Amino acid sequence: MEEENKLFKLLEKSLMGPLSKIAQLKIVRGIMGAGIATIPFTIVGSMFLVLNVLPETIPILKGFFDATFFKFSDLYMLANAATMGILALYFNISLGYEYAQIIAEEEELEMSGLNGALLSVFAFFISVPQLAFENGSVSRITEVTEEVSIINGWQIGGDGVQRLGTVGIFTGIIMAVLAVNLYKLCVKKKWIIKLPEEVPTGVSRAFTALIPAFMVAFVVLLINGILVVLNTDIFKLIEIPFGFVTQLTNSWLGIMVIYFIVHALWLVGIHGANIIFSLLTPITLSNLAANAAGANIPLAGEFNNAFVTVGGSGATLLLTFFIAYKAHSEQLKAIGKASMIPAIFNINEPLIFGLPLIYNPFLAIPFFLAPMVSASIGYFAIKLELIKPIIALLPWPSPVGIGAFIGTGGDWRAIIVAFICAITAFIIYYPFIKAYDKKLVLEEQKKKKSVSENL
């Protein structure tokens, strides 16, 4: 037991401390909020994409779809283009709003979330056009070939301006952070136009943003100008570090590290999934769009809830049903029965805090191991093309099999893989929960004996 306590103390010191501090940063909380704000739109856009690809996975539907839905495909796929096609714009606006609101509330500054959003999108759009520096002057690039189409600096892709899609998410995030911080600087230094209180709020807010807008324009144009002279731009520059991070998270080893950290945080009482996957949302959404365009990336969309944490963090779905009906401990039975319905929808806080799974050395090993093995099964099933990659975003509470089936565009094999993941996770838990059940039964018997002796 002393060794287990040392492990928990080590996790608290090396993971809980640093990551909990990171999670409390205003920028990080703003990114988390922006990621959550984009979810309804990505789900809606994904559903129309699933409708469009169903005949590819269920060929018997092709004739029917050709005669019906596909006649209106260019119309209804606008819902996908207007969500996944301009996802960077959603992130940029949402982050600008969330970040400005957080600063305003916690630093007690007269900042408006709306101004933060508008200044962010202003900075972002200044950065989008592609420029060239030739013969001592800057000009917008125009290049039309079979591979690329750039008109007056605006590169056009399948869904419109290409840089507004997932390739621009990280630039959108950086521009929002820059714009809001410049806004904050102007407000703190009182470099704003303050109108009398009698002036309507909307008018007053507009003039408050005037000097910050000039500041944002000057700084972003200066940055762009320097980068253009150096024959690059913010998008190309960001591709280097974030491209490396994206590749790392898409490797098997990277995914193992992700799930180890998530469950190490949970083990010491921190909601690891909320922290880590909120930060990874820009990457998983970018991968989702790449898969829809023909890539084969495992960690995309709701890969986590489709294949890995089935039943909730720790992959506890079948464990919940086992303790509800097969455990001998009254405590485990009660917790299992109370947790069954939430577990079907990937919610297992009752189990995590009631079993408990946190600070529990008896179940720590399977709590780490089960999701890492499930993630490996899902990863290699996609990587080896045994099943299709995830191309559509479903709500994370989707029950086992359903999220995998629809998320992969209707691949029935994904249902089998999801159930294999859930069964494998339970097999890992089985010897540990049996031993833990036996321990609790002995404790309950001793307690009953003690009570009867005192009567």
pLDDT digits (tens, 9 = 90+) for 167-188: 899 999 999 999 999 999 999 9
Sole residue written with tokens 């630039």: 171
Per-residue model confidence as pLDDT tens digits over 240-276: 877 777 888 889 999 999 999 899 888 877 778 888 8
Q: Which residues contact 435 (CB under 8 A, 6 or more apart)?
A: 362
Q: Is the pLDDT of residue 200 over 90?
A: no
- The answer to whether the CB of 434 falls within 8 A of the CB of 411 is no
Strands (E), 174-222: none
Q: What is the pLDDT of residues 279-288, one digit of tens each?
A: 888 999 999 9
Q: Are 180 and 103 in contact (CB under 8 A)?
A: yes
* CA–CA separation, 198 and 283 (whole Å): 46
| Range in 4-8, 78-82, 197-201, 329-333 the model is least confident about | 4-8
Nearest residue to 276 (alpha-carbon basis) of 261, 266, 288: 261
Residue 8 confidence (pLDDT): 62
pLDDT value for 319 = 97
Q: Given the structure tokens 């819902």, which residue do they identify?
A: 79
Residues of the chain with pLDDT > 90: what percent?
Answer: 64
* Class of residue 421 by CB neighbours under 10 A (exposed 0-12, middle 13-18, buried 19+): buried
pLDDT exceeds cutoff 90 at 199: no
CA torsion sign, 414 to 417 to 419 to 422?
A: negative
Mean pLDDT for 59-85 is: 93
Average pLDDT score over residue span 227-247: 87
Q: Which neighbouring-strand residues pair with 154?
A: 151
79-88, 109-118, 220-229, 351-360, range with the lowest pLDDT: 351-360
Amino acid at 172: G
Q: Copy the structure tokens of residue 419.
A: 């159930």
Residues 352, 338: Cα–Cα separation, whole Å: 12
pLDDT at 17 over 70: no
- Other C-beta atoms lying within 10 Å of the C-beta of residue 215: 17
Q: Which two tokens stand for residue 184?
A: 């904050």
pLDDT the model gives residue 455? 60
pTM for this model (two decimals)? 0.85
Measured over the CA atoms of residue 148, residue 149, residue 155 and residue 156, the dihedral's sign is negative
Q: What is the rounded distance in angstroms from the CA atom of residue 302 to the CA atom of residue 395? A: 8
**What whole-number percentage of the chain has pLDDT above 70?**
95
Q: How many CB atoms lie within 10 A of CB 210?
A: 12
User: Can you give the pLDDT at residue 310?
Assistant: 94
Angle at 318 between CA 366 and CA 391, to 5 degrees: 90
CB 393 within 8 A of CB 338: no
Asked if pLDDT for residue 3 goes beyond 60, the answer is no
In which band, very low, low, confident or very high, does the pLDDT at 231 lie, cut at 50, 70 and 90?
Answer: very high
* Phi–psi pair at 433, nearest 5 degrees: -70, -30
| pLDDT confidence band for 10 (50 / 70 / 90) | low
Residue 384 token pair: 């080896």
- Tell me how far CA of residue 215 lies from CA of 109, 212, 281, 408, in angstroms: 18, 5, 30, 45
| Strand (E) or helix (H) holding 316 | none
Tokens representing 128 are 């989008």
Residue type, 95: L
The structure tokens 């003039």 sit at: 207
